[in-house]
Amino acid sequence: MKVFTGSDHGGFLLKQTLIKKLTELGHEVVDLGTDSQNSCDYPDFAHAVAEKILAEPGSMGLLTCGSGIGISIAANRHAGIRAALCHNSLEATLARQHNNANVLVMGGRLVGEALALDILEKFFSASFEGGRHQTRIEKIEIPCERL
């Protein structure tokens, strides 16, 4: 699977660790930056990853920033992106199974390396269950003016 990655300076080190694991798991990784711990703005990378995923159906994403909050908010501004901020393995599994999340988000300052690797493995090995969850996913895409 093709996985687009991005981070700001606060998520850079965690992203590097997770890229290595994704490659070991056989995924094709395209890193869209940042490439250092120099201060930068997380929305730039969230938007870049979201746009690539939307342009390449079937691809997925991985985003990290200091807390994971800002970068997930920015990514979720794109219709069709379901970025899930995960702090444990169960959240990662359920994000895929029930929410058909296509972007995994973690906070580089909040999640330790061993836990992050477990979260990553659970997220990328789980599959969307469909069924009753599909209707809920479809409701996410309703334009705000219709609500």
Mean pLDDT of the chain: 96
Percent of all residues in the chain with a pLDDT value above 70, rounded to a whole number: 96
Average pLDDT over residues 70-84: 97
Candidates 40, 98, 133, 144; catalytic one = 98
- At residue 136 the predicted structure's pLDDT band, cuts being 50, 70 and 90, is very high
The structural domain count of the chain equals 1
Three-state SS string across the chain, please? CEEEEEECHHHHHHHHHHHHHHHHCCCEEEECCCCCCCCCCHHHHHHHHHHHHHHCCCCEEEEEECCCHHHHHHHCCCCCCCEEECCCHHHHHHHHHHHCCCEEEEECCCCCHHHHHHHHHHHHHCCCCCCHHHHHHHHHCCCHHHC
Residue 135 has pLDDT above 70, yes or no: yes
Candidates 40, 47, 65, 86; catalytic one = 65
Average pLDDT over residues 72-96: 97
CATH number of the domain residue 20 falls in: 3.40.1400.10
What pTM did the predictor assign?
A: 0.96
- At residue 145 the predicted structure's pLDDT band, cuts being 50, 70 and 90, is low
Asked about 47 being catalytic, the answer comes back as no
pLDDT at residue 147 in the model: 47
Asked about 65 being catalytic, the answer comes back as yes
Domain that holds residue 70: 2-146
pLDDT at residue 143 in the model: 65
pLDDT tens, residue by residue, 5-31: 999 999 999 999 999 999 999 999 999
pLDDT tens, residue by residue, 53-64: 999 999 999 999
